Structure 1
Amino acid sequence: MPDRAPQPVDRQLPTDEARDLIALVRDIVQREIAPRAAEEEEAGLFPREVFRLLSGSGLLALPYASEHGGGDQPYEVYLQVLEELAAARLTVGLGVSVHSLSCHALAGYGTKEQRAEHLPAMLGGGLLGAYCLSEPASGSDAASLRTKAVRDGDDWVLTGTKAWITHGPVADFLTVLARTGGEGARGITAFLVPGDAPGLSAAVPEKKMGMKGSPTAQLHFDGVRVPDSRRIGDEGQGFAIALSALDSGRLGIAACAVGVAQAALDQAVAYATDRTQFGRPIADFQGLRFMLADMATRIEAGRSLYLTAARLRDQGKPFSRQAAMAKLFCTDAAMGVTTDAVQVLGGYGYTQDFPVERYMREAKVLQIVEGTNQIQRMVIARHLAGPETR
């Protein structure tokens, strides 16, 4: 069954420009994304043409400066765009979030010359990025990564394997974190690597339980040469750059989670008001009404949490703790809401005739990516009680 177009959320947007932007996103969703989402996800089709359309519409560049082709939009607005896209198809919403994450290092830490040379194409040239931090043996313990970058004259030579890379096989550029010095966080440096660099290859994409339309794969670096002009920031600064990007990226995941949860609630409400048992709609039964009320409350709370963190970011205030809280709460809420949506639909919810089973499978990954929810709890606790004692 084709997905329902997401029901419009009553948004409080700061400007007329932002309201026009959301209207544009909803139009693209209704025409280009929602009608084909279920079919393309089941077939594992990556919607590259949709990303080209989003790029041409300026939607891959929203939170960046117009000086280099960005949209000059506050994070508060950008995240609500992500929510709208994810409600229609998580492969698209999460893909936009990952692309934005891939641009963060260069936009925030690149030289003026680097930004002028690369950012316009990255933001509005139809390109798609990937973010390469995780490795087969270093996931949550990202500072233990083993991919090496060795200086050779004016170049760096990268050797190693990155894992769980969204867009890995199809990305046009990669932000890569590699070890240039000793052990630990201080020996890591960031690089901007072309997606077609000689020596770079992608493994067969992972066979995932959800988000089948989004290719996730290991990337192998076999002597990939990168000029020093593509090093981002100082040598040894890479891990700090990575953490800075992840604070913002976690808000993107939170917004996507709220979008998936909202889509599941919309389906559940529509089904409950249409389905009759014992001579009346099942939405008349108090047990189910309370379930829907709890689902809606968790969604609204999650939306408020990610927007609060975004507004702190927009004001230039610290937001790391709030970002971790938003990622934790919103993704846990999405898992709960999508599971409840399957329950509301009963046997039909367990079939592929309705999209709620897909939403439940997709929600699970959001509790894992860009820092598991156990890592988010560690981050929050450190803000409250300081670092762990050894």
Structure 2
Amino acid sequence: MDFELSPEQKALQTLARNFAQQEIAPHAAHFDRSGEFPVDICQKAFDLKLMNNHISKEYGGMGRSAVDEAIIAEEISAGCSGIGTAMEANGLAQAPLILFGNDYHKRTFLKPMTEKLSFAAYAVTEPEAGSDVARVKLDAKKVGDKYVLNGVKWWITNGGVATWYFVLGKTEKGPTGFVVPADSPGITRGAKEWNLGQHASNTVRVQFEDVVVPECNRLAEEGDGFKIAMKTFDHTRALVGAAAVGVARAAFTHALNYAKTRKAFDRKIITYQGIGFKLADLATEIDAARFLVHRAAWLYDQGKNNAKEASMAKMFAADTAMKAATEAVQIFGGYGYTNEMPVEKLMRDAKIYQIYEGTCEIQRSIIVAQLLRGR
């Protein structure tokens, strides 16, 4: 057993960390307040080969491992998780094509993303179908050698800037996956949602009205949509967990530095057990979250079943991020409650990790199901 990163991974970590510290963190507050989409920062990340990480080299990508992606995700989100989500949402949309797409899908939709900065979106969530993916209602009616899509998708990350969508629709045989160009007639994108946190991320509703999709843009077979979504999450949940670790680490670092300099009653507040023990617990839990993330990613890279481990990593890292951010605000006291200090933003940003790509409650249900199967 080796806990050491390889020389290549250390170099990748340094590249991502320097980029986050120099290009992301200094602008995090601006994008949080303006809600602008950070296209210029994404362009710089694209130029440094920090995007489209899992696309294979055959199709112009970096062909990086899930562990490599986790390393990048943590560093970028430590700078700003809203900007990180804008960058990393591509990976969620791309994963179904990487896992289930054929050569046509990959050359038509993935390869162009490695040649020029562009975005894609994972359009699965609906008003009544979030973590319960099988409940999608967007209608996908087969008409000859085409499908006609009607319905709405909500809270679609990168939905307003995407050039194509992975869409989960309901056919006669059940949930089915499609790749749909964003300029298809009948697609209407809503206004940007102003969420609690991660304001740099673009989240919109996407309406589909008689959108015609050729049969060749269907992924796998009719009814395979649920399987596609679950296999996608086995890959991406560890990466969401990694981003949550980045948020937790940022909150912890701010809190630690403040506690080492702030004095109360002529003592640095870190010397008080009530503060010091909080920091000790957070340091332990952040390390534990990172190890869970790296194990889940490593299992995925080995081609092993990681459904339980990915849920553990995502759940624990998300809870740790929320705890770290909340405790950081508490350690800062009144300062922490103002938007003059970064921990207020981190607390707002952290909450989404307990919700998207399967709530923490859903992750616990998956873990229980795996335990019942003897895993």
**Larger mean Cα displacement after TM superposition, 241-250 or 80-89:** 241-250
AA in 2 matched with 1:342: V
Distance 1:158 1:273 in 2: 57
Tell me the SS of whatever aligns to 1:151.
strand
Percent of matched pairs sharing the same residue: 39
Between the aligned partners of 1:124 and 1:91, the Cα distance in structure 2 is 24
How far apart are 1:273 and its partner, in Å? 1.2
Partner of 2:253: 266
Q: 1:82-121 counterparts in 2 under 5 A?
A: 82-121=73-112
Q: How does 1:325-340 map to 2 (within 5 A)?
A: 325-340=312-327
User: With structure 2 as the length reference, what TM-score do the two structures score?
Assistant: 0.95
**Alpha-carbon deviations, 1:236-264, whole Å to 9, x = none?**
21111111111212112111111000000
Distance of aligned partners of 1:349 and 1:250 in 2 relative to their CA distance in 1, 3 Å threshold: same
Q: Is the 8 A contact 1:94 1:252 kept in 2?
A: no
Displacement of 1:265 in angstroms is 0.5
- Equivalent residue, structure 2, for 1:148: 139
Q: Relative to structure 1, is the Cα distance of residues 301 and 289 closer, same or farther in structure 2, using a 3 angstrom cutoff?
A: same
1:357-377 superposed Cα distances (whole Å, 9 cap, x missing partner): 111111111100011111111
Shifted more, 226-235 versus 305-314: the winner is 226-235
What corresponds to 1:20 in structure 2? 11
Match of 2:215 in 1: 228
Partner residue in 2 for 1:290: 277
What is the correspondence of 1:139-178 to structure 2 with a 5 Å cutoff? 139-178=130-169
Paired residues of 1:102 and 1:130 also in contact (CA < 8 A): yes
Q: Name the stretch that deviates more: 50-59 or 257-266.
A: 50-59
Is contact 1:63–1:73 with CA below 8 Å preserved after alignment?
yes
Q: For residue 140 of structure 1, report the CA deviation from its aligned partner.
A: 2.5
Query: 1:1-390 residue pairs with structure 2 within 5 A?
Result: 14-182=5-173, 187-386=174-373
The answer to whether the 8 A contact 2:100-2:220 is kept is yes
Structure 1 letter corresponding to 2:169:
A
Give the CA deviation at 1:129: 1.2
Cα distance in 2 between the residues matched to 1:150 and 1:123: 32
Q: How far apart, CA to CA, are the structure 2 residues paired with 1:232 and 1:181? A: 16
Task: Tell me the CA shift for residue 35 of structure 1.
Answer: 0.6
**Which residue type is aligned with residue 314 of structure 1?**
D
Q: Distance in 1 between matches of 2:83 and 2:218?
A: 29
Aligned to 1:3: none
Which secondary structure state, in structure 2, belongs to the residue aligned with residue 234 of structure 1? coil
Bigger CA drift: 111-120 or 129-138?
A: 111-120
- Offset of 1:23 from its aligned partner? 2.1
Per the TM alignment, residue 72 of structure 1 is displaced from its structure 2 partner at its CA by 2.1
The letter for the 1-side match of 2:186 is G
Q: Deviations over 1:214-257 (max 9, x none)?
A: 12121100111222221111122111111111121211211111
TM-score, normalised via structure 1 length:
0.92
Gaps of 5+ in 1: 1-10
